[in-house]
Structure 1
Amino acid sequence: MEGMDEAGNHRVVVGVSGSLGSITALHRAAAEARRTDAVLLAVLAWQPPGGEFAYRRSPRPPLPDVWQDRAGQRLLDALDAAFGGLPEGLRLRAMTVRGPAGRALTLVADRPDDVLVVGAGRRGRLRRLLHPSVARHCLHHAVCPVLAVPRSPLHDVLEGVRRRNTWRLPLHAATSQR
């Protein structure tokens, strides 16, 4: 049956990277999975440093296993940051997929009855040029409904705090100048 996993459960697929936007999308996806009694499938896409092209030019066989393990740990860290452990009342599966995020998500959410949840935040021109939008890719290529979650209002507050703190001197530098 379409839109169901191997056990016959509906799926809500969510892209997770550990960013604040992906944590916001993860919370929205968890709410959707609870509402529809679906399995939440958290997916973290990863690529070799420098991308697949750089890796193919000089492959090192043991490294993909290390990168896969690191991706798995990043996914677990993101889930822990979002939920503080395994969330109650939620059937959760986590997986890492090698490949560009947009492509990986649309390959996993491959059934018309799936729901794909992605973060969709503001991005500057340079960032859009260097890193194509995962949300746009998913909206264009997905075979299932896509829920694009806007960035949290807290995102701007946290960005402002981070910017202010980067301009302050570290404590050890301030005390050594006295």
Structure 2
Amino acid sequence: MASDAVTGGMPAGDVVVGVSDSLAGLAALRRGIVEARRTGRALVAVRAWEPPEGDALYRRRPEPSWARLWADEARRRLDRAFELAVGGPPADLRIVRRVVRGPAGPVLCSVASSPDDLLVIGMARPRGPAARLHRRPVHRHVPARALCEVLVVAGPRLLPREARILRRGRHEERWARP
């Protein structure tokens, strides 16, 4: 790599991590932090968001106050992901937080646009009918189109009962918030 000579043996570029609320997304964030520490790079945590009803419907009847609300919610989820993954943002890293409107795959590929970047994404192990409904899996889009090295981190394997308990805990937590 030609850029190693310029940076004194350390790779140039950033460690870009696609952050989501899923267990695979949290595992990707943890691995991104490890890679940023190991290589001395900056960590760019990216949260992509889209209007809940879809961009096509939103364009027909745009409402900027709703868009601000959804962007703020994406920022809160990005901050919450750091809390869930590692107990808060690490003080020993340079962290750049980006909340970008758009589909996750194209957003991540545009943020990690340098060949020297490392892009870290999580890959859930989908099962059942919900897996067939997910039309644009990020773990297929990103490796096929990214201009940089991609690290795909698998989510943890859970027994069906464990997954149900975790989902129930998340719902109870949502209702318990003031």
TM-score with structure 2 setting the length = 0.80
Structure 2 CA distance for partners of 1:166 and 1:76, relative to 1, 3 Å:
closer
Aligned mate of 2:141, from 124, 137, 144: 137
Distance 2:127 2:64 in 1: 36
When the two structures are aligned, how many residues end up with a matched partner?
159
User: Per the alignment, in what secondary structure is the counterpart of residue 86 of structure 1?
Assistant: coil
The letter for the 1-side match of 2:161 is G
Structure 2 CA distance for partners of 1:42 and 1:128, relative to 1, 3 Å:
same
User: Per the alignment, in what secondary structure is the counterpart of residue 129 of structure 1?
Assistant: helix
Task: Work out the percentage of aligned pairs sharing the same amino acid.
Answer: 43
- Runs of at least 5 residues in structure 1 that lack an aligned partner in the other structure: 3-8, 168-178
Deviation at 1:37, TM superposition (A): 0.2
Residue by residue over 1:7-40, the C-alpha shift from the partner in whole angstroms, topping out at 9 and shown as x without a partner, is xx63000000111110001111111111110001
Residue by residue over 1:112-160, the C-alpha shift from the partner in whole angstroms, topping out at 9 and shown as x without a partner, is 000000012222364443222101100011000100011124xx05x52
The letter for the 2-side match of 1:76 is D
- Look up the match of 2:64: 61
User: Per the alignment, in what secondary structure is the counterpart of residue 140 of structure 2?
Assistant: helix
Structure 2 CA distance for partners of 1:90 and 1:164, relative to 1, 3 Å:
closer
CA RMSD of aligned residues (A): 2.4
Distance 2:66 2:166 in 1: 36
- Look up the match of 1:146: 150
- Runs of at least 5 residues in structure 2 that lack an aligned partner in the other structure: 4-11, 169-178
The letter for the 2-side match of 1:135 is H
- Look up the match of 1:47: 50
Structure 2 CA distance for partners of 1:30 and 1:166, relative to 1, 3 Å:
closer
- Look up the match of 1:99: 102
Q: Is the 1:13–1:116 Cα contact (8 Å) retained in structure 2?
A: yes
Q: Is the 1:10–1:37 Cα contact (8 Å) retained in structure 2?
A: no
The structure whose Rg is larger is 1
Residue by residue over 1:150-171, the C-alpha shift from the partner in whole angstroms, topping out at 9 and shown as x without a partner, is 1124xx05x523436889xxxx
